[in-house]
Structure 1
Amino acid sequence: MTITTPALLFPAISLLLLAYTNRFLVIAQLIRSLYKQNDENPDMDIRNQILHLRVRIIAIRRMQVAGILSFILCVITMFTIYIEREVIAHLMFGASLILLLASLCFSLYEVQISGQALNLQLKNLENKSEDK
């Protein structure tokens, strides 16, 4: 393994972290908006949406932590290759890949939650249309 091997993950991890941060910011803004709506006009549906979004925020934070740790281990891998500690470099790179995989699994989980929430909202919309 050369020093360029772990460096290949840098762009991928950076883009993932950017996407995760954007998701976090959008959901945080949505929570603030729903919180304000609920504060002005208390509604159990809005409260449930906020609680559901909280689960998504937790998943996104876990995605971010795993991604950042993966990034850190890539840097450590590069350093251990530089100081010619191949065994440690292989272990660090393997751990980095496992953390990247964990980050992607959390991302998949968050996407599933998001899809379920949208389906529930669409069902509610359909039910309201049928009631009219």
Structure 2
Amino acid sequence: MEITLTTPALLFPAISLLLLAYTNRFIALANLIRSLKKRYATTHSTLVYGQIENLRTRLVLIKNMQAFGISSIFGCVACMFVLFAGYNTAGKYLFGLSMVLLMASLALALREIQISVNALRLELNDLEESSEGMAK
């Protein structure tokens, strides 16, 4: 397989958009944590505390998603530099490493989404239980 300087550059837009999405998720999570902390301080609800613990796990995942994404783009830049210097074999390995790092970032993103959906399911279950209690 022939690899040129433009090959790793193809990943720049995709990785940049992913990092933007990860940052937006982080900001939304930070705001949610702040509001839940205030809510927990007044109610001491076990549901709210469970949500906060869930968010702690998600924060670690988002941090790692961002780290792998940044490492991937760094690998692409290093690949371009190595290819520019004429080391095609090393460039291929660096590009492969960048792709693996990107896949790791995406796998973590998938896991974070699964945890997020489970947290929403807990909220919905709580809502259903409280609405059933009101109906009685």
In the TM superposition, residue 120 of structure 1 has moved relative to its aligned partner by: 1.2
Alignment-mate amino acid for residue 109 of structure 1: R
Alignment-mate amino acid for residue 12 of structure 1: A
Alignment-mate amino acid for residue 106 of structure 1: L
Q: What's the secondary structure of 2:44's corresponding residue?
A: coil
* Equivalent runs, 1:25-44 vs 2, <5 Å: 25-44=27-46
In the TM superposition, residue 39 of structure 1 has moved relative to its aligned partner by: 1.7
Q: CA RMSD in A?
A: 0.7
Where does residue 15 of structure 1 map in the other structure? 17
Which residue, 99, 107, 110 being the options, matches 1:108? 110
- Between 34-43 and 12-21, the greater mean CA deviation after superposition: 34-43
In the TM superposition, residue 44 of structure 1 has moved relative to its aligned partner by: 1.6
- How many equivalent residue pairs? 132
**Paired-residue identity, %:** 49
Q: Segments of 4+ in structure 1 off by > 3 A?
A: none
* Equivalent runs, 1:5-84 vs 2, <5 Å: 5-84=7-86
TM-score (norm 1): 0.97
Where does residue 89 of structure 2 map in the other structure? 87
Alignment-mate amino acid for residue 23 of structure 2: T
Where does residue 99 of structure 2 map in the other structure? 97
Alignment-mate amino acid for residue 83 of structure 1: A
TM-score (norm 2): 0.94
Measured in 1, the distance between the counterparts of 2:41 and 2:89 equals 57
Unaligned runs of 5+ in 2: none
